[in-house]
Amino acid sequence: MPRLIPESPTFTTDSEREVWERLRDSLGDNDVLVANLRLTDEIKDHEADIVVLMPGIGIVVLEVKGSSVWWDDGWWIKRRGKDTPIHPVDQARDAKYALRTYVERDARWGSRTRVAWSHAVVTPYSEFGDDFALPDLPRWSLHDKGEQAHLVGRLRQTATKMTHGQRVATPDDVDEIAEILTGRLPTSYDVRAEADERAAVADRLTLEQATILRVTRLLHRVEVRGGAGSGKTVLALQQAKELTRGGHERPRQRVALLCYSIGLAEHLKREVATWDRKHRPAFVGTFHDFGRQWGAADGDRQDSQFWEEHLPAQMAELAAGLDDGKKYDAVIVDEAQDFADSWWTPVLRALRDEEEGGLYLYSDENQRIFARFGRPPVALVPLVLDHNLRNTRQIHESFGPLAPSRMYSRGGEGPVVRVVDAAGEDPLGVADDEVDRLLDAGWDPKHVALLTTGHRHPAQVERTDFHDQDGYWKTFWDDDVFYGHVLGCKGLERRAVVLCLNEDGSRDRARERLYVGMSRATDELVVVGEPETVRRVAGDDVARRLGI
């Protein structure tokens, strides 16, 4: 039996099925029989009813015409009781040339020279005399009802007579042609495609949620609270844009958009840089950068006294002495739970109207992973976001009990959250292996992050030593796996995250660090560590959801 492509084709006419079955039962083991081959080129759509590839003999493209077919100054067929003109020779010949061109253009054909292709017409129910012939269809290229029993022999004769001086296809040629005509480059499940779709849905839902900003249009002091994945950062950006551009009977405002972490500040700057210049807020950056623009000093990152006392005091003094032109109509703070009590004084003094100026906070108290915590000494109208838009349902449900309040998942379906037991092993080594698994599964390196809860990964140390802190955080947007610590990643996300629990969970605020780390993954999350550490830090409910 020949090689059949496909093995069990579906035919629209009995005539095509009958011819195919006859050839199937008569061709040799090295031959290839292709049915219903469709091809579109620059000229038109082509369809070859059957293609016969015979190594050492030739290739024949067949046009099969059933019912009653006859010639009378043109080809005719009876369809629904009406005489209908047809063009079987043109169809067979055009398909032959189209297929040949397609094969020879394919890179897999390489430097091979042209092989002979032929064409023929088969009429399994109609007969023609032995003396019938046309200039474009010799009798040996027409195979009628009385010749079906010897069809394979006649096709071999057709192929031999129509070589036109070209070489005959070898077995290797036939295999390559069959692969080009019918083989498809293998494809597979693509995790990135599903992630792209989920991201598009999340973007749409977040924009829909931005209608909450209409509620705040007449409010100038608001705190928007929401758990991880609720779209707080997107709303903060959108509010900065709307306040800056003004409109709808609201004047343009001079706006500052602040946060604590360098990484989130870099993200905000990159987003704002894509906007129309008229929509960009006057300032985007960290609290420290906010003071630097007025001449505030730098300090040691490990010196808590500098950050809690000296810097805010200096900034408050500098802000008080600013001209009105350098002050702001509104300040927006993302991840506001990271701001200390002492930081709010310079923020308020930076407003043109300290009593009535706009102050908009976006916060999640359960992501408060620093010992400091402060609230501005002003009344704020609270608004709550209770939908998770960014994480898959599987990820959201895994950290749901850690969130500040009940939230509803709208992030779509994804892979289950995996917990990899690293008991007795180096958790960083196990985490590295899991990163490799994600890459092997098809994730792009730029979509993968390895985050630690304890000491930093060696790759993070190396990159930080090579760059300064600002330079290190810029690598988050490189086309490479990102290595970081949960302390710096609030407000940031990657599609696939390996969270390495490389601490025993006894340190203060371990629960909050676990919450932040688990919620950084939008599509796939792998937790590496000792299951009992997860249970001790997160509680039985989270452990149960993780299958521990």
Q: Of 122, 136, 118, nearest to 57 (Cα)?
A: 118
**Top-confidence residue, 261 or 373:** 261
Q: Residue 243 pLDDT > 90, yes or no? A: yes
Q: Residue 369 pLDDT > 60, yes or no? A: no
Q: Share the mean pLDDT of the chain.
A: 92
Q: Residue 226 to residues 211, 233, 303, 501: CA-CA distances in angstroms?
A: 15, 10, 31, 25
The pLDDT of residue 279: 95
The pLDDT of residue 199: 84
CB under 8 Å to 10, separation ≥6 — which residues?
Answer: 36
- pTM of structure: 0.69
pLDDT in tens, 48-63: 999 999 999 999 999 9
pLDDT in tens, 386-398: 889 999 999 999 9
Q: Give the architecture-level CATH label for domain 3-182.
A: 3-Layer(aba) Sandwich (3.40)
Q: What is the DSSP string of 35-99?
A: EEEEEE-SS-EEEEEEEEEETTTEEEEEEE--S-EEESSSEEEEETTEEEEE-HHHHHHHHHHHH
Residue 336 pLDDT level (bands cut at 50, 70, 90): very high
The position carrying tokens 């009781």 is: 81
Residue 78 pLDDT level (bands cut at 50, 70, 90): confident
Q: Residue 347 pLDDT > 70, yes or no? A: yes
Averaged pLDDT, 288-309: 90
CB under 8 Å to 225, separation ≥6 — which residues?
Answer: 363, 364, 365, 382, 383, 384, 385, 404
Residue 188 pLDDT level (bands cut at 50, 70, 90): low
Residue 198 pLDDT level (bands cut at 50, 70, 90): confident
Q: Residue 210 pLDDT > 80, yes or no? A: no
Residue 251 pLDDT level (bands cut at 50, 70, 90): confident
Return d(Cα 523, Cα 521) in angstroms, integer. Answer: 6
The pLDDT of residue 372: 56
Asked which of 104-113, 210-219, 305-314, 432-441 is least confident by mean pLDDT, the reply is 210-219
The CATH number of 217-385 is 3.40.50.300
Return the structure tokens found at 97.
């040339």
pLDDT in tens, 121-171: 999 999 999 999 999 999 999 999 999 999 999 999 999 999 999 999 999
Q: What is the DSSP string of 437-493?
A: HHHHTT--GGGEEEEESSSPPHHHHHHHHHS-HHHHHHGGGSSS-EEEEGGG-TT--
pLDDT in tens, 400-439: 898 877 888 888 899 999 999 999 899 999 999 999 999 9
CB under 8 Å to 110, separation ≥6 — which residues?
Answer: none
The pLDDT of residue 91: 96
Residue 194 pLDDT level (bands cut at 50, 70, 90): confident
The pLDDT of residue 197: 85
pLDDT in tens, 16-29: 999 999 999 999 99
Q: Residue 3 pLDDT > 70, yes or no? A: yes
The pLDDT of residue 303: 85
The pLDDT of residue 366: 72
Return d(Cα 116, Cα 167) in angstroms, integer. Answer: 6
Residue 186 pLDDT level (bands cut at 50, 70, 90): low
pLDDT in tens, 492-520: 999 999 999 999 878 878 999 999 999 99
* Count of Cβ atoms closer than 10 Å to residue 140 Cβ: 15
Return d(Cα 168, Cα 546) in angstroms, integer. Answer: 63
Residue 120 pLDDT level (bands cut at 50, 70, 90): very high
**394-402+404-546 maps to CATH 3.40.50.300:** yes
The pLDDT of residue 370: 55
User: What residue spans in the chain does CATH classification 3.40.1350 cover?
Assistant: 3-182
Residue 190 pLDDT level (bands cut at 50, 70, 90): confident
User: What residue spans in the chain does CATH classification 3.40.50.300 cover?
Assistant: 217-385, 394-402+404-546
Averaged pLDDT, 74-100: 94
* Count of Cβ atoms closer than 10 Å to residue 141 Cβ: 24
Q: Residue 224 pLDDT > 70, yes or no? A: yes
